[in-house]
């Protein structure tokens, strides 16, 4: 392959990686939460919708819970189980889910 073709392929891959949270928003709130909370060192990540059942096709807010193990936490935190509460919303059915609020818990 020519060098130009490799540059185009690399640019497309980088663009997809950078836009993955936005793209995941089109697959529902659980996918959007997973894209926002996943980091390579976190293991056993589980995301569940806590405010509504599986029929979350409306355009209002949805609360999700992301539970994960974090063996290499940042400064001031101890390793172990963490829970993040995330609220997502979308103003229209044609727009993706976006994170509007987030908080942590034990």
In whole angstroms, how far apart are CA 27 and each of 35, 37, 98, 101? 11, 16, 11, 19
Arithmetic mean of pLDDT, 41-56: 70
Please answer whether residues 74 and 84 qualify as being in contact, where contact means their C-beta atoms are separated by less than 8 angstroms. Answer: no
What average pLDDT is seen over the chain? Answer: 79
The answer on pLDDT for 18 being more than 80 is: yes
The answer on pLDDT for 28 being more than 70 is: yes
Strands 80-89 and 62-70: antiparallel
The pLDDT-based confidence of 55 (bands split at 50, 70, 90) is low
Arithmetic mean of pLDDT, 85-97: 84
pTM: 0.66
């Amino acid at each position: 392959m020519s060098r130009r073709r490799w540059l185009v392929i690399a640019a497309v891959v980088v663009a997809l990686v950078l836009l993955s949270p936005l793209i995941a928003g089109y697959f529902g709130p659980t996918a959007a939460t997973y894209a926002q909370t996943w980091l390579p060192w976190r293991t056993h990540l589980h995301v569940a919708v806590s405010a509504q059942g599986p029929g979350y096709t409306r355009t209002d807010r949805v609360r999700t819970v992301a539970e994960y193990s974090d063996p290499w936490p940042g400064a001031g935190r101890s390793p172990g189980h963490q829970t993040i509460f995330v609220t997502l919303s979308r103003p229209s059915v044609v727009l993706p889910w976006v994170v509007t609020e987030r908080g942590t818990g034990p």
